[in-house]
Structure formats: structure tokens, C-alpha cells
Chain A
Amino acid sequence: MTTLAVLLIVGFLVLLPMVFLVEESLNVGDPMAFPPVEFGIANYIAIFEEDLKTVWNTLIIAVMATVMAIFIGFTLAWILTRTNVPGREKLERLMELPYYMTPLVGALAWAVIAGPKSGFVNQLWKAVGGTGDIADIYTHFGIAWVMALFEGTVAFVMISASMKSMDPALEESARVMGASKLRTMLTVTLPLVMPGVLGAMLFVFAEMLGSFAAALVLGIPGRIYVITTAIWDSTLSYPPDYGRASAMGLSLFVVMFLMLSFYRRMIRRGTFTTISGKAFRPRPMEMGRLAWVLFSVCALYVALAVVFPIAALLMTSLQRFATVLLDQAQWTLANYHTALSLGPVRTALFNSIMLGLGVATVGVVIMALLVWIIYRSQLRGRGAIEYLVMFPQAVPRLVFGLALLWAWLNIPIGIYGTLWLLALAYFTVMLPLGVRTLAGVVLQIDKSLEECARVCGASWGYQMRTVTLPLLKPGILAAWLLIFMACVRELGASAFLMGPNAKVIAPSIVSAFATSGTELTAAMALIQTFTVIVALVILFRVARGMTKELQ
């Protein structure tokens, strides 16, 4: 009974919107009619007839971004796990920062740095006597570059995980046999981590196909549309073409879903024979003087993905008219003042934080319960629950937003255009994140710790209160903060679900970028980033406490 109820509720949240989306994508009559009166596949055919260029753009950008992300990820992973680069542990922490900066902020920053004409790089170029622009971020390459820097971090995480789980003796024996460092890397390290690299490639490529923020900020000015921005665009036209948007969204979903399923099968099959799951004591290679070269490589990455973007945004936000030439700068705090006093912006920020607090708090409780059902209970059908809960991961945020929009336009409960719908949407798309984080902690806790409490005579409630919950506490805190951060920066799903009376911050930043100056946008982006950073600092504190406690 319990299982059925849980399945129904989760299914309602997760699957029902997708059903509406399928129905709408087949609607060839009046796009606003519900239920549709005429069915056909015209919307799908149109993708191939009219949007080939968009498909082509999407593929080119995703391929470029994936190649760059994997290249960067592999290089950094190798440096940070296999060599004695100075300051290794500190550098490794820094590698996560670009991910927390979000692609939206990254794209805005790079628009400031390398936009045509007024971009800082081009301003400097002209100041030293150059003509024309030497950098233009509003191109296919520019979009891919920003995606790789700010969304490609997962490649680094995945590849370095597979390098860490490799027995260092495998490399050492090659060295003893007389192979140089380079030869060792090419004949031993590279082939051994290849399955991990391929997996990361597949995963990152799927992510890049569904990426939205960078293409939205950098693609639309140059009229470079990818699938996600084309979906966005066709709902903005008049009349909004929901049928077409749904068909594109579903096609994108199917492609991504297939790739992710293939990826999952790949890791489950035993191609990873080297990866025993055993953790090895890292024995980095001595690089001698080369170590400092490798350090510079890492530092360059941090500069490109964190320092320059933040510096550029800071400079821009503190000036009346953004310039990198300091003698022309007019410094002011007015932009922050405007951002914080402007009614809509202030409400948007307030709404985002409230949504973050609410969704994180209520969400974590429900997710903890789900985790307990999935991983600790003996209920039948818990596998199905797990599958449903993880499902939103395979749906691009934007497409899920579209599905929810269409579903709640048609469900006769009046939450469309309110914060309630956003809260519901956030909760649903955060399910995989929260459940995975909590499951990580639950699975670490040996079952016998709980069983021992019961044997000692504790009731279920007493055991939960005295053993399970205290052990889970750090994990719950971490999940809460991750969800809070993800809510504050959420863009994809919010873009469609935000109403005039329910604004949130990320889409507001995008529209400020389109309508008002970069200076104000930069100030808003930094305020959002600052909120995330505060949460991040707390998260690191908690994480450190957690590892200590578990040891």
C-alpha cells in the first residue's frame, strides 16, 4: 500500500508532465487547444525541414564543448592525481569552483571579457593600437568555450575518480621496466583510464546537448540558435508554438536519455576491471622542475574560469560605464544600489532565497524518507521508486520546465504562475540530487549499527533518534545546502514557470542582460554568486566535519 501511494505521488510529479508533453508534441491543430483535436507528426517533421541549422549548431557546439571539457578535465585530473604538483590539495578544491559559479554567470562574465567592441580584451587591444576585434565570444566556439569551462567540471571529477582508483604500482612497474614518464602515461595510464574517459565523454556530451544558459546569453545576440534556445524562442513567439517546442524538447530528451542509459550500462558492465573500488594510497610521480609548469597550467585554468570572470564582473559592476582602462573608469556603487532597491529585482532575489529555504527544508525530509524506503526498507517495488526518483536527471531542465508549464496550464488547480508551482518544480528536479547525496551517507552507515540498537532493546523510534539520525546529520545538512544552492541558481525550469507575480533571480538576470546595461546585470550576477558562495563555505565546513566524524 505504502509503495503504491509513494509510486503514485512520485509518478504524478515526474511522469505526468512528460505525458502532457508527448500529447502536445503530437498536436497539429490549434497549438493552444486542450485537449488537442488533431494529431499528427508534423511537429517532428518540421524539425528536420526548418530547424536543420539549429540541430547542426547544437551538434557542433556540443562536440566542441565536449572535446574541450574532456581535454581540460583529463589534463587537470592527471596533474592533480598523478604528479607532485605543488599545492595539490588546495588546487583540487579550487577545481570545483567554476561549477558553483554556474554557466549563466560564466557566460555573462565572458561576454564582458570577450564581447565584440566593448569587451575588455578588445578594449585593451584598441588601447595598444590594434584595429578591429581580436576576440568575439558570440560565436559557436565562444559558446562551446563557456560551456566547457563552467559545465565541463564533471569531466574532471569523473576522470580523476577513475585515476584515483588505479593501483599506482601499475605505473611504477612500467617505470621500473625502463619506460619514461611520457611512455608510461601513453602505454599504461591512458589505456587504463580510457573506459572512464569514454564514460565521461558520453555523459558530458549529453549534458552539453541540453545546456541552456550559455547559448541563451551568448547565442541569441549573434542569432546562433541551439535546440534549447530554439525551444525557448518558439514559446515566446506569437502565438506561442507549444507543439513545436514540445516536439523539439521530446526529441532532445530521447537522445539524452538513450545516451545516459548507454552510459549506465557501460559502467555496470565490467569494462572497468582495473577499478576494484579499492582506494589506493596516492603515490604521485616526481616531476622535478616540470612540476611548476604543471602548476601554471592549473593556475591558468583557475584564472580563466574563476579569477578573470569574477574580476571582470566586479569591475563592470562598480563602474558607471564598463571599461577596463582604469584612467577612464568612473567608480560607483550605484549598480548595487539599483539592483537591491529595484522592486522586481529585490522581489526576485527574495523569492529565490525563500524558495531555496522552503524547498530545501521540506524536500530534505521527504527525500530522507524516500532514501530510507529505497535503501533500507524491505518494501516491494522500491526499485521502481528509485527509478522514478532518478528519472528527472535524464530530462533537460528546460524541457521539464516546458512539460510542467503545459501540464499545469491544463490541470484545473490554480497554481500556474505562482511560487507554489516553482516550488513543486524545484522539488521534482532536485529529487535526483538530494536522493543521491543522502543515499551516499546512508549506504556508508553499516546496517549493523542500527540492528545493534534494536538488539539492545531500542524501539524503531528510539533507534532512529539515537543512532540513525545523528549518523545521518552531516549528510542531511550537506543535502540541504546543495538543494538550497541549486534552487537559488536555477534557470532552466524557472524560465518557463516564472510568472509576472512570481519572479526568481536567474531568469531576471537574463532579462536584465537583454534589456538594461551590463553594469547592472553584473551587479545582480555577483549578488546571486555571493549568496551561493556563502552556502558553499558552510558546505565545506560541514563536509570537513563529516569526514572527521566518520573517521
Chain B
Amino acid sequence: MSETRIEVKDLVVRYGDQVAVNGVSFTVGRGEHLTLLGPSGCGKTTTLRAIAGLEHPSGGRISLEGRAVYDAATRTNVQTEQRGVSMVFQSYAIWPHMSVFDNVAYGLRVRKQAQDAIKANVERALNLVQMRHLAERGASKLSGGQQQRVALARAIAFSPTVVLFDEPLSNLDAKLRAEMRVELRELQRRLGITSVYVTHDQEEALAISDRVIVMNVGVIEQIGTPEEIYNKPRSRFVADFVGSANLIKGKPAGDDTFVTEGGTVLRVMAPHKPHGNETEVAVRTAYIGLEPMAGENHVPGKVRQRLFHGDFVQYVIDSPVGAMIVRRPPTNLLPEGADVTLSFSPEHCVLLEA
């Protein structure tokens, strides 16, 4: 993360009088894989399209490799084709009137590469996505997964330094999506590509990113590594949108103590300096044990409901701090009605910003 490849500063994008992106700033380092995560309509795709020059912002600055490609102050707006970025579209946008080869060769031909260099580069790119055997096939005769691979090959064939991904896996079925996720991550590491990736799938975002930006209604909620986002959510929105968490209401009493509405005292961790006006703590459903452990917060409870999911079991437990959801491995099943002690460590009991 030595040098900055992409810098977005105070970006604002409006559609008419609607503000889609409202003052977003972040940087992407060389070789970094950054993900914009958020629900639909949060402005993540708009931000990505603004980097590509497909959306006309109304304020802020975007620099690629230190060169301003958009700057509201100097009225700079470099045309899409001169920005030198590459992009994989949600609909793949494979040109149906060309063969697979011609699709992948497009960026190379635009750059006037020699005939044999084009051939070599296309083959290399198709090899990377294991599609070399289909080079001569018409692009309209490909399955969804194949189109996705061709789109990927096309995006990397001309060796761009920055590749933008607009929900590239959202049109695939669940199993294929999981496979492509692994492949994408590997490819990205191998080629050292700097990438910005947009998705609404939090699992995908956590799995493949170096850093994640969580967005909501046009602004950034939190920036951090996947572990930070998961373990130390800053806001109620992040705790709720990424992973699953229990929210407990109350108010802080000192830097690391929290009194719930029912009067239970919990020891908590505050990622930020508490202001005193916070009203909630978040506890991940996966971080709660059902037997007392030394040094942890303890709350008595009673199993109200048990749902067997296969990979895990989900309990709903009534307790003085409210109904708590707990996910445990599917061993040692507890019956409904059993008395338990909820146990979770202070560092997993995160004080959320008001």
C-alpha cells in the first residue's frame, strides 16, 4: 500500500435534485483490492462509474496515478477512454456480434498493438480464465459463467493497472459464485492489479477484499479491513448489514462499562473515544457462548426457539438484556426451554457510535 493509485476526494454525484453520492473520500493503494459494500441505492455503483468516467459528478476530485481525471475546482473531466482503467460490468456486456477472441482483443486493438502481440495477449488472458479452447466461439453462444470469464479476460487483456468490478458475480448461481470468488482473488493477487469492487453481498466483500468501505445513503459508514469491519463495527448500520449481531440498548457508564435498559452491567470495548451519548452495543451472534467462561460478561437466559441450519444452530434466547440470537456449531444441541448462561468477552461487546 505504498503508493496511491486512486484517490477520491469529497465526491458528489447528483441525479437531478437527488444526491446519489454525498461527499465520499478514500484512496486505493497499489495492488490493493478495495470493496465498496452497501445495500442497493447506497451510491456504491455510482461511485465506481464516476471513477470510470461513466457518471458525471457535480463536485470533488478523482485522481488516477496522481493525475486528476475529474476535478470540479479546475473543471477537469477526462473522457472515459482516456482514463486507462478497465471494468467488468454486472451484465458482462459481452458483444454478441463478435467472437470470444475479438471481444478480448478489443482493448489491444484500440491500443494499436501488433498482430502477434494481440494474439499472445489474448491467449494469455483466456488461459488465465481457462477459456482458451473457446476463443473462436461466437460470444452469443456462451453460458452465463463463460460470459463472466470472457468479461474478466477482456478486462485484464491489455494489462490495465486499475480494474473496476461492478457486481460481477451477482448474476451467477450460488455455487458458481463461490468458485469464481476464489478464482478472482487468486487472479487479482497474481497479476498485482489494483481493483475497486462493488457488491451488496457482505460475505463476498469480507472474503476477497484487502479493505472494505461500507456505504449507506450516499456516504461512507466505515472503512477498514474485513476483520475490523466485522469485529469493530462503528455504527448500528454496519453491525446490522455486515454479519449478524445482537443490539443491546442502554447507556455507557465510564470508558468500558455499559448499563443496559434492564440494569445489567456489561464490560464493553469502545473502538472510539466514548462521548457519553451512545445508546447501543453490538454483540456478534457467533461470539456468544452458552456456558460461563472466566473473564467474560455473563447474562442468564432461557432457550425460546431452536432452528437447525445444518452448518450451525441458531438459538433465540430470552434474557434480561432482551431476546438474543446465538449461533453455535451443530453439536451438543440444547432443547427449547433449557436454562443457559450467555457468555461473551468484553472485546466482542462493541460500543456503537450514536
Which residues of A does B touch, CB under 8 Å? 167, 169-170, 172-180, 183, 187-188, 191-192, 194, 273-274, 283, 286
Contact B106 A174 (CB under 8 A): yes
* Residues of A with C-beta under 8 A to B106: 174, 177, 179, 187
Contact B110 A177 (CB under 8 A): yes
* Residues of B with C-beta under 8 A to A188: 95
How far, in angstroms, from A194 to B92 measured CA to CA in the complex? Answer: 21
Interface class of chain B by DSSP: loop
Contact B110 A191 (CB under 8 A): no
How far, in angstroms, from A463 to B86 measured CA to CA in the complex? Answer: 56
B157 CB to nearest chain A CB (Å): 9
* Residues of B with C-beta under 8 A to A176: 52, 54, 80-81, 83, 85-87, 164
Q: A183 and B56 in contact (CB under 8 A), knowing A169-B91, A177-B86, A192-B97?
A: no
Contact B81 A172 (CB under 8 A): no
A-B contact pairs, 8 of them (CB 8 A): A167-B91, A173-B87, A178-B81, A178-B84, A178-B158, A179-B106, A194-B97, A274-B97
With A176-B52, A191-B95, A191-B97 known, 5 other A-B pairs at CB within 8 A are: A172-B52, A176-B86, A183-B110, A188-B95, A273-B140
How far, in angstroms, from A173 to B151 measured CA to CA in the complex? Answer: 10
* Residues of A with C-beta under 8 A to B91: 167, 169
Closest residue on chain B to residue A188 by CB atoms? B95
A345 CB to nearest chain B CB (Å): 51
Closest residue on chain B to residue A180 by CB atoms? B81
How far, in angstroms, from A291 to B96 measured CA to CA in the complex? Answer: 29
Which residues of B does A touch, CB under 8 Å? 52-54, 56, 79-87, 89-93, 95-97, 106-107, 110-111, 140, 151, 154, 158, 164
* Residues of B with C-beta under 8 A to A179: 81, 106, 110
Contact B81 A175 (CB under 8 A): yes
Contact B97 A178 (CB under 8 A): no
B290 CB to nearest chain A CB (Å): 49
Number of residue pairs spanning A and B whose beta carbons lie under 8 angstroms apart: 70
A182 CB to nearest chain B CB (Å): 10
Closest residue on chain A to residue B90 by CB atoms? A169
A172, A188, A273: residue with the most chain B Cβ atoms closer than 10 Å: A172
How far, in angstroms, from A169 to B168 measured CA to CA in the complex? Answer: 13
How far, in angstroms, from A180 to B106 measured CA to CA in the complex? Answer: 12
* Residues of A with C-beta under 8 A to B97: 191-192, 194, 274
Contact B95 A192 (CB under 8 A): yes
Contact B93 A177 (CB under 8 A): no
* Residues of B with C-beta under 8 A to A283: 54
Contact B111 A178 (CB under 8 A): yes
Contact B54 A175 (CB under 8 A): yes
How far, in angstroms, from A178 to B110 measured CA to CA in the complex? Answer: 6
Closest residue on chain B to residue A272 by CB atoms? B96
Contact B80 A175 (CB under 8 A): yes
B247 CB to nearest chain A CB (Å): 36
A166 CB to nearest chain B CB (Å): 10
* Residues of A with C-beta under 8 A to B86: 176-177
Instruction: Indicate which residue in B54, B96, B107 contacts A192 across the interface (CB closer than 8 Å).
Output: B96
* Residues of A with C-beta under 8 A to B82: 178
Q: A274 and B96 in contact (CB under 8 A), knowing A177-B107, A178-B111?
A: yes
Instruction: Indicate which residue in A170, A172, A178, A274 contacts B107 across the interface (CB closer than 8 Å).
Output: A178
Q: A170 and B81 in contact (CB under 8 A), knowing A175-B54, A179-B110?
A: no
